[in-house]
Structure 1
Amino acid sequence: MPVISRIDLRGLALTTAELRRAIPRATLDVEAATGAVEPILADVRGRGAAALRDLAERFDGVRPVHVRVPAAELAAALEGLDPTLRAALELAAGRVRQGHTAQLPTATTTEVAPGAQVRQRWVPVRRVGLYVPGGLALYPSSVVMNVVAAQVAGVEGLAVASPPQKDNGGLPDATVLAACALLGVEEVYAVGGAQAVGMFAYGAVGSEEADGGAGAELCVPVDIITGPGNIYVTAAKRAVRGIVGIDSEAGTTEIAILADSGADPDHVAADLISQAEHDPNAASVLVTDSLGLADAVETRLVERAEATRHSDRVRAALGGPQSAIVLVDDVEQGLAVVDAYAAEHLEIQTADAAAIAERVRSAGAIFVGAYSPVSLGDYVAGSNHILPTGGCAHFSSGLGVMSFMKSVQVIEYTREALAAVTEPLVALANAEGLPAHGEAAQARL
């Protein structure tokens, strides 16, 4: 049985809609997970910390003593952090801070006529809830991506949630805690999954002395929830959207690679496996016009899948319906395929890769050429690794400074400027059957 399936699109002239149906996707989608998360969200909304502890025991196998991580535990985690890992986190944070500082918008003032001014202000939200996964893998790097982007945006209140770990006494992973402490985050919760989303959206009251007593305010609701997670975290974020803002639907990871015969098959196989090791539901997709490359990559996938640490997980991901090698007639057709797919991570390993990358319309992040693997973006590229999945890159962007900011328009007219436009204002108001709108302007003149 092949390690990965093939989809042959050669010789087919498909519309965009047909391409979207032809490309591989996971069988479990966000809609299917919604029914599972709704009772969890309702439970957290109704019972607060009591529900959070019960749900941790059910899903994480441990009942936390402290839902909110004590300050002493954060300090101890940073104190015990391996110096090499600390240096790596500091490097990552520094580069992410540089990359995100460049995203800061500038205020503008437009004088549409003498005395008629419209100003554009950019304002950070007051409080955000940042989710850091902690299931099959642990993600201190996601602390960096979430926190630094919010800090650069100027957010005042930052709260992080990450699943409690049995081997860390019901606290989140020690390295995750250390990364929080390193970046100055003081509010951290041992809460994972859909229940963390519910806590951030609705807030939570305490249930035990460790929470400050039953009924005490444990977590204040946030304005925006960001961060990656599994399909259930993504479904929960969709369910609370409108109560709070969310960044995008950053669910189970995916990679697409557009490659031609000049690509190195070992590089391609290594990159497909690097995403497959995240989760059995991770998607790894190669789009190529080279049958020779496809054959060589499949051979290397077998070899690398056997040798890698998480081989069972990798084989499950590569063999699932969400992963495939897609054969196309040429790079032009391949470009249409990857645009229809709208991958979270898209690698371009073709001749003229930079020019091809400029033509891509839908992708969370694009990695150009042989020396820009996705793993670079996961850690130290200076970009953000929290990206839209499941086709959401057609309409969503990756996490950035703008995820935490909102624009406010400020309008200021003089009496003379108002007088100059009152007649057309009244005409429009009357045409819409709203004469009081016009009268509000006339009353000032």
Structure 2
Amino acid sequence: MSSKPKIKDLLDESACEYNKTKKQACNAPRPGATTGGCAFEGAQISLFPYADAAHLVHGPITCLGSSWETRATKTTWPGRDLTRMGFTTDVSLNDVIFSGEEKLVKAIDYIMAHYAPTAVFVYSTCVTAMIGDDIDFICRQGAEKHGIPMVPVHAPGFVGSKNLGSRLGGEAALQHLVGTLEPETTTPFDINLIGEYNVTGDMWQYRHLLDKLGIRVLATLSGDGRIKDIRCAHRAKLNVIVCAKSLVSLTRKMHEQYGIPSISLSFYGKRDTSKGLLAIARALGDPGLVARTKKLVAYEEARLEERLKPYRDVFADKKAVLNTGGNKTWSIAAALQDLGLEVVATAVKKATGDDRARAREYLGEKGVLMMNPGVEQARLIDEKGAHLLLAGGRSLYTAIKKGIAFADVNQEKKKSYGGYDGLLNLAEDLKNALENPVFKLVARRAPWQK
């Protein structure tokens, strides 16, 4: 029996309110859709932070370049961190003709003999999907032989975008891992964090606050996660989608199968961190927990405001342009507003309908939602008189040409900006950028140039 998910069902997501009003499904494949990241990459982003699992790419070795250490996810895994390893079957022309299944079996045996993971994710790629290698059969055979979960991930790049690939990764985890093990203990306040990948340690900026409130993170998908924990995720009392709306299909199905309700929130900025903590407490339905949360929020906000005082004058009357993707189009915008900056434009090309609606809510009617940021951001910097550009590394040259400050807020960044303490990290980095004379100096013409 094949475990291939029905792509059409994932595209027409009933839990997405914006999908109902569109003639074409969200993330439907179209020419050029994979230039910003294909489905294979999206699936790996969803699952790769499981450091105790081996991630085996069944395809040409070139696909491994899009997989190893896809994002700088941090982990406290005490053993060998397998996210630091790149595993591939290195499918060649002969394998295309005669099948690569034998190679896949040998690769799994090799991984088990040398690395002893707690699970193996096997990712199909464009080539192996087209030649029809049966990774479901190989994974069932491998699981029986080695006694651990072998998870086939059907997310070849050609099926669609990175966003769709994240859903496919979630489908694989739900079908093959969730509900396959019982937790040793449960509490009334067990939650799952869904779509939290712990990039640069974001989760650690707020998890200690959950611990203070007595809220236990039973499982994560997948930041600093453990295979054992995600197998027990069906016993949680609440699913918390942390920004990544691409996994709404997963939470809907967990509600249908296990009765677990879900909420969606962000831990970027003061306002959203406070709202998020209170939303979790209220969703768990305990008045005592809500009261404790309000008290903790008030304490943390007062502490944060005191520490932000030195930065307020630096950010007064400053304008920013934000060019990033997905939930960051609005979550980082909210954090910037909490610091006192005016966000005059944000890029929404890679955002969902829900993300765009939230971006409009935060920026107001005067804010610009950029659909073609590569072309628009330079013009808007001039028109709006922006002082700061926040984007990925490729946009640094735009900031240099315009002589304004720049900050990298993509996954390549080295610091976490999540939670209350993360907002302080963001404030320090933006202060340093705004006060750094290099951006104005490097934009000047040489003395001998007219």
Q: Same fold (TM over 0.5)?
A: no
TM-score normalized by the length of structure 2: 0.27
| Bigger RCO (CA 8 Å, 6+ sep) | 1
TM-score normalized by the length of structure 1: 0.27
